[in-house]
Copies of this chain bind each other. A is one copy, B any other.
Amino acid sequence: MEIQPYLHKTQYYETDQMKIIHHSNYIRWFEEARTDFMEQIGLSYAEMERMGIIVPVLSVSAEYKSMVRYGDSVLISIQVQAYNGVKLDLAYEVYHAETKELHTTGTSRHCFLNEAGRPISLKRSAPELHEMFAAFV
């Protein structure tokens, strides 16, 4: 199964007075790409929450190589870098939708919690979800 990169069109409210996209928005774009990725592999994040599984962010990073400007559209690709049923490491690449210039790279780390806020092993608690993630390492 091939995952398609996620397309984000920059918005005016994402700019700052440097006339570029404010750096904090990329962290939000990573989230957009992440939920899109999950839908592509067959489980929406909204559904996971209804199943009582919460996926908080343990850490996040972004490296800005070149600026994105208003009017640009970007593609965001995701790689599952590590997954062991308990933790999930993702890597992101943000590149220009037309020129394919690489603008930003990033990472995020996640765990899985039940509704009581306790860490769970997806492998035991939701083996079918576990298989989906495991297939992408």
Interface string of A23-59 (1 = CB under 8 A from B): 1100110011001000000001110010000101111
* A11 contacts chain B at the CB level, 8 A cutoff: yes
Which among A13-21, A83-91, A118-126 touches the partner chain?
A13-21
Interface of A is mostly: mixed
Contact for A12 among B19, B35, B60, CB less than 8 A = B35
Please state if A31 and B13 are interface contacts (CB–CB under 8 Å): yes
Chain B neighbourhood of A49, CB < 8 A: 17, 70
Q: What residue in chain B is nearest A36 (Cβ atoms)?
A: B9
- Report how far A61 CA is from B35 CA in the complex, Å: 21
A136 located at the interface, meaning its Cβ lies under 8 Å from any Cβ of chain B in the complex? no
Q: Of the candidates B27, B63, B67, which one forms a contact with A59 in the assembled complex, judged by CB atoms under 8 Å apart?
A: B63
Bin the interface of chain A by size: 20 to 34
C-alpha spacing A67/B57, complex, angstroms: 10
The contact of A13 among B11, B22, B58, by CB within 8 Å, is B22
Give A contacts to B, CB under 8 Å.
11-13, 15-20, 22-24, 27-28, 31-32, 35, 44-46, 49, 54, 56-64, 67, 70-71
Q: Knowing that A11-B32, A17-B70, A44-B71 are A-B contacts, what are 15 other residue pairs whose CB atoms are under 8 Å apart, sorted by A's residue number?
A: A13-B22, A13-B24, A16-B16, A17-B17, A18-B54, A18-B56, A23-B56, A24-B28, A24-B31, A46-B70, A49-B70, A58-B63, A59-B61, A60-B61, A60-B62
